Structure 1
Amino acid sequence: MKLFEKVINPREVRRKLGLNQQEFWTKIGVTQSGGSRYESGRNMPKPVRELLRLVHVEQIDLSRVRREDFEIIEYLKENHPDLYKSLQKAVKARQEAAAQRGEEVATDMSR
């Protein structure tokens, strides 16, 4: 199952983040009334689910992500898979170490 196909309960995510509907849904380009309908059980389109996951679950600041970032990732995957895997492990280790210290690791891709 792909990540964006997992069932995400938007109301639960929003409440865990302590946001009202306006704050929560505006960050992903959905009106408060549209978000309310999704929270009430209306079927959420895959692009909206994916944006919700990226912004509110993965905590990625989409305003800082550029097309070039994705091109670099694809280049590494295709041409340097060992380096890509090594970088993945390093990031995971960094996140785990920060979590143990109670810190949050920035997910800013522009660094």
Structure 2
Amino acid sequence: MATDRLSLVFGALADPTRRAILTRLAKGDATVGDLAAPFDMSQPAISKHLKVLEKAGLISRIRRGTARLSHLEARPLYEASAWLARYQRFWDESHERLDALLEELQEDEPDRAGAARERGEDDG
């Protein structure tokens, strides 16, 4: 089982509930009750999600008075984004090749249609 930080981050982000929790925490710190409110699940179930996020380093838990708040830790998201960005060049080059091929096919299309008409073939 992979336990490196990037694997933990991507594992945590794989769940839509955890992604929604992170979206909420981007607006500010929140209690378990606050985080559980929009979901049809118990506070203990939300607490399990929070433990996964905390283990991945995506959140920290702090006490303010009697409240225990969850706080977004954005650095691991930056690191995951930087890892994904390495593939941006690959996708850019792939799109450039596809664009060139499409342009070539579009330029050849009138020639093919004219040749077919000369042979008496119909397009449709």
Per the TM superposition, whether the score is higher than 0.5 is no
Q: Which has the larger radius of gyration?
A: 2
